[in-house]
Amino acid sequence: MLIQPDLSNQRLTRAVRGIDHTGKVQEIRVVEERPLTIYLNAQEIVTAMTIGDYPEYLAVGYLRNQRMLLPDDIITSVDFDEEVETVVVRTERKTDYEEKLKKKTRTSGCAVGTVFGDMMEGLEDVRLPATPVKTSWLYSLTHQINTMPSLYLEAGAIHGSVLCREDIPLVYMEDVGRHNAVDKIAGWMMLEGGTAGDKIMYTTGRLTSEMVIKTAMMGIPTLASRSGFTAWGAEIARQVGLTLIGRMRGKRFICLSGEDRLEWDADVTAVRGEPSKAVRKGGKP
């Protein structure tokens, strides 16, 4: 794994005391939320609610997925000021998105559920590679991701997104909003030069239109989730040639787009069932 959640970072969670259903006092760890204001050059773009890790990746990925950073843009600096909770991304190209910012679309996303400009802008030019997907990879990834250490297992109330190659998880990001987690991966790919055509994006969130669009615009040909779909998300996936797989739980999944790319190499009878959250944390069934 190149990057995964840093569970030792005490800034990501906080101890909160409450009373459980028996009236007993309990102290649990809960996820933090903090604002992060993103600037592109001299222009303020958005303030996002986030857990606060990897702010540089989040800022660059957000701007990339909003089509405010272009694939060939040269980024001269990315500066994070923890005291004022601000990231400033600077480019060689002069930018002015005043008109684009006036047109906002509220989406079904949490935390950063807004798209600036036309959601479908640039999508007609997307041509994703017809990368095959082995069913054995899907089962392996599901098991690995469900059992690896995460903030979700520690505190809940959080989404995760994982960039994978075949059955190998590479970059694991978590945040209060599933779009934040995907944007962090987009930022990592842009800053670190990660390739897209041979990758799988796994997310714990719903497969909505915006999730499909973001994945397609990143050039990733496969999007998979343990959650379900929206009709428009499935329609856009078919339009751009994205392999879309959802409801991945235990031995089951549903493919609504790109089914011709699936290679049925797994022995389903040998696939392990999905453990409960308690078991994944190391407890007893």
**255 and 195 housed in the same domain:** yes
d(CA 129, CA 250): 28
**105 and 140 housed in the same domain:** no
pLDDT at 178: 87
pLDDT at 121: 76
Confirm whether 123 is domain-assigned: no
**70 and 208 housed in the same domain:** no
Confirm whether 268 is domain-assigned: yes
**173 and 271 housed in the same domain:** yes
**148 and 255 housed in the same domain:** yes
**142 and 107 housed in the same domain:** no
pLDDT at 115: 64
**239 and 196 housed in the same domain:** yes
Confirm whether 1 is domain-assigned: no
pLDDT at 281: 60
Q: Are 151 and 172 in contact (CB under 8 A)?
A: no
Tally the domains of the chain. 2
pLDDT at 117: 54
- Establish how many alpha carbons lie within 13 A of residue 239's alpha carbon, considering only the half-sphere containing its beta carbon: 17
pTM for the model: 0.89
Q: Compute mean pLDDT per 10 residues along the chain, 285 residues long, and list them.
A: 87 94 95 95 94 96 93 96 97 89 61 59 86 97 92 89 97 93 96 94 93 94 97 95 96 97 94 65 54
The domain boundary residue, chosen from 92, 118, 144: 118
Confirm whether 113 is domain-assigned: yes
Confirm whether 250 is domain-assigned: yes
**43 and 143 housed in the same domain:** no
pLDDT at 171: 97
**103 and 156 housed in the same domain:** no
d(CA 264, CA 256): 16
Domain that residue 171 falls in: 133-280
pLDDT at 271: 87
Q: Are 43 and 96 in contact (CB under 8 A)?
A: yes
Confirm whether 274 is domain-assigned: yes
pLDDT at 156: 85
**254 and 199 housed in the same domain:** yes
Confirm whether 28 is domain-assigned: no
Residue 202, domain CATH: 3.40.140.10
Residue 58, domain CATH: 3.10.20.10
**102 and 137 housed in the same domain:** no
Phi, psi of 81 (to 5 degrees): -110, 105
**63 and 172 housed in the same domain:** no
